[in-house]
Amino acid sequence: MLSRSKASKNAFMPTDSLIGKGTEVEGALACEANVRIEGKFNGVIESRACVTIGEHAVARSDISAREVVIAGKVYGDVQAEGKLTITPTGQMFGDVLAASSLVIAEGGILNGSSKMEPKKEQAEALPAVDMHLLETEAG
């Protein structure tokens, strides 16, 4: 039996979500927890945690999450606060709107454009560049 403190602590912890193989879902998915898609999903996916598109999954979705892992197929744009990983079996057909880190394993496919912005603390640490000096050096 759980003690009162453990029970109340676990009552507010997010539960991971799974859309299993053989399942097709259409709509908008918004959650606080990790999401794993193993079936087919059409719509928008938003998570404050990690979104994983499984090896045999197909997502026709724009995805926004803290972290995204693509092992199946994604047709849509992706925005990740942290890392976006495309595994050797992963295929992404869309744009990377934001990611602090992009990893594409050998065999992985990204058919689209990508935009990566340094984090605020990294951008502030970069030295200022004098454009006049660059023009002078270029000729």
Looking up tokens 């990204």 gives 110
Taking alpha carbons only, the member of 34, 31, 116 closest to residue 80 is 116
Residues 6+ apart with CB under 8 A from 138: none
| Per-10-residue mean pLDDT, the chain, length 139 | 46 74 95 94 96 97 97 97 96 95 96 77 56 49
The token duo for 95 is 């744009």
Q: Residue 18: beta bridge partners?
A: 36
Q: What is the pLDDT of residue 115?
A: 74
Q: What is the pLDDT of residue 15?
A: 64
